[in-house]
Structure 1
């Protein structure tokens, strides 16, 4: 395993707009890094730069202590897993897994033995003689992973590998990828637009927006201490509620701050509580099982929160939202940057 360092990476295409703006990251050997952000933020481009499939305009890509900007993709100790699987339809699972080893000149007996070993790890042994058309989406994804694992590389790059799967299968594959990381102890850099995947998989998350790295930290730090309003809104479901300080006068917050309140900092009650609260009426509810997501109209605008079905007030047209201001986040209303502020309620 080797350390991956990105130093001030900038990228643009054919004199067009800049796609990446000075991105820097230091990735330790064996880390599971998730790069997350909306479409067009530059996350896949960054992955392709690390793989050597693209060249950067400025900056250095350092792999294992060696500047690697000009090293060909096949000469980097890296395997890449794509969204579309890229399996050969005329080959069996065994042949697909072993194909990269065949290109490297490994004898047939050795590469088949390696393919079978990888298949055991990924629970693909029963399917070794099947072709991709006879496999489910999850099985095809595991074959694509197996082909990368067979190379015995130290670094895996995964570009939205689960986006073609249904929700139930995504949950299963997330668990399998997490377990695989523990088994291989390899470095994984994983790109997704799904914040749930980011939170559940990563040792550290890199949040991107418009080619800029917004925050690079642990899932806990990004959820609990988002660097700015964008990170706060992108990470977490339901999305964080944002209210201007003037809309919550009782909180005693300076007017140049925007208040961020996650769903778990809000409680729907039937009567006006002590402390900071908003009168509300529920306009829409979405059952998720034992809990329900509630969309409420308040004098401060629409507020979304989650409540247990058994704890709902009797009258949802005339209720209150109690705000736990000790759990609030504060952002500069002009710049969106995080600001520290201690609320003194009462």
Structure 2
């Protein structure tokens, strides 16, 4: 069975295609899944590039989707032939978050999905959205579910709200699509006018180039008539938080999702208090959240935006493309 593994201490030039033993038949409450697709996330990049070291020989990639080949005793939720998609936190089934690390996250603390076949507990998967191929389905595990939890679960998104999405990566584009499907208005930021035009084609009502308009938070506030936006999908971190606080309305909601500009920095506490804003840290979501999201996708017909697809053998090249920052939406890997 083909698999990609990471040779410690990591680095894109240390990703290897190897043959691994077949995992065999599923045991009680397990399913055997033939995997056909994954998608890239910043977390995967940190692991594969060695910036977040993983165990020697670790199989990377948190996202995985494929088809059930066999079911073990006691599995009633799935049948042979079902299309399924993995869960980022396989041990977080429902309820409030209880996991604060990646010790049991596929592709980090345990083996991930850059391989041909896995045998895992049935509860490590949900059904895939109807009509999605494996790469499309894999985009919901991390990016899609993060956007869903930020807006719907924690943010209480409703029709008529205004959402500000930072950048045009996987989480932000998913947030744009979810917000539009639920009747919200979206403002998008990017350093590329071309990407802003693509965001408008997806339904964004307004775009702000943050290079030519460095006070983009005020620009977003002005566009709302001075009220401010209801939700911010904050993927930048310390260097962008001040602008996000300027953009959000009094009593609004900021979802802290990314740390692209660093892991620490000053917090503008005065503005935070004045806005009376809710800021919540978001790391993906539970299996129940994912099941709810799949039902919403089936009802609304949202399709993920796939920028490019690479083969499993070209995983390192896919990450180098991610490094370039030229992508819009998700980068997929299929086999």
Provide the TM-score with structure 1 as the length reference: 0.23
Give the strand-richer structure, 1 or 2: 1
